[in-house]
Amino acid sequence: MASISAIILSGGRATRMNGVDKGLVLLKQKPLIQHVIERLAPQVDEILINANRKITHYQTFGYTVLKDEVEDFLGPLAGFSLGLQHAEHDYLLTVPCDSPLLPLDLAHRLMLALLEHKAEIAVASSDDNTHPVFCLCKKNVLPSLTAYLQQGERRVSAWQKSLNYIEVDFSDCSDAFVNLNTFEDLAALELKLNNTQNQK
């Protein structure tokens, strides 16, 4: 399998969590981003982190931290752009910092589909929902993304679908894409994980 770089997107404003730095919010006494790193590290050859605040805290995880080049929060595509510019390898996997249950075979399954369909970008989906920020793309899509951002566009899926695009079905593990937008989401997941643990 080809070598893969990954970027964890932790640069958002988390407006529905009172603007906290979401990657550093604790779940079972561990920052969300730590859960993501533990699941991601065995799957890829390089990890980058996109963060815009508390940079020194993010650096303690031991990976390169990249800050958005523009100040006005372009959203996930700013992180995609940074990843494509700085990735050592020819393939870039993107994941959010607030999905602590991401699939352990995410990179493998996306790569298989990408190669099989000779696509430029493979995006995870489950139960008829697309998860645009879980995607694997070739590094050579950077010029098209740069042009898209320069036009003032910000929508992730619209850019993705302008490429040679494939969706990969992960309905067998749709819980893996739970993302935590509110403190209620976080509390519900903590409870669920505790219950699962207690049943073992």
pLDDT in tens, 130-145: 999 999 999 999 999 9
**Quick one: pLDDT band at residue 19, thresholds 50, 70, 90?**
low
pLDDT for 72 equals 61
List the CATH code of the domain at 4-199: 3.90.550.10
Element (H or E) spanning 149, and its range? helix 142-150
Task: Report residue 135: phi and psi, to 5°.
Answer: -145, 155
| CA distance linking residue 119 with residue 104, whole number of Å | 22
Beta strands 30-31 and 26-27 are: antiparallel
Distance CA 35, CA 16 (A): 21
Q: What is the pLDDT of residue 165?
A: 96
Q: Do 69 and 78 contact (CB within 8 A), yes or no?
A: yes
- Per-residue pLDDT for 113 more than 90? yes
For residue 144, give both structure tokens.
Answer: 């098209």
| Predicted confidence band of residue 180 (pLDDT cuts 50, 70, 90) | confident
* pLDDT attached to residue 163: 96
pLDDT tens for each residue of 39-89? 999 999 999 999 988 899 999 999 999 988 776 656 889 899 999 999 999
Q: Residue 23: its pLDDT value, please?
A: 86
Separation of CA 102 from chain center:
9
pLDDT band at 4 (very low <50, low <70, confident <90, very high): very high
Q: Contact at 8 Å (CB) between 82 and 7?
A: yes
- Predicted TM-score (pTM) of this structure: 0.93
Q: Which one, of 121, 88, 93, lies nearest residue 8 by Cα?
A: 93
Which of 127, 125, 138 minimizes the C-alpha distance to 80?
A: 138
pLDDT tens sequence across 75-107: 889 899 999 999 999 999 999 999 999 999 999
Report the alpha-carbon distance of residue 87 to residue 56 in Å, rounded.
21
User: Hey, where are the domains in the chain?
Assistant: 4-199
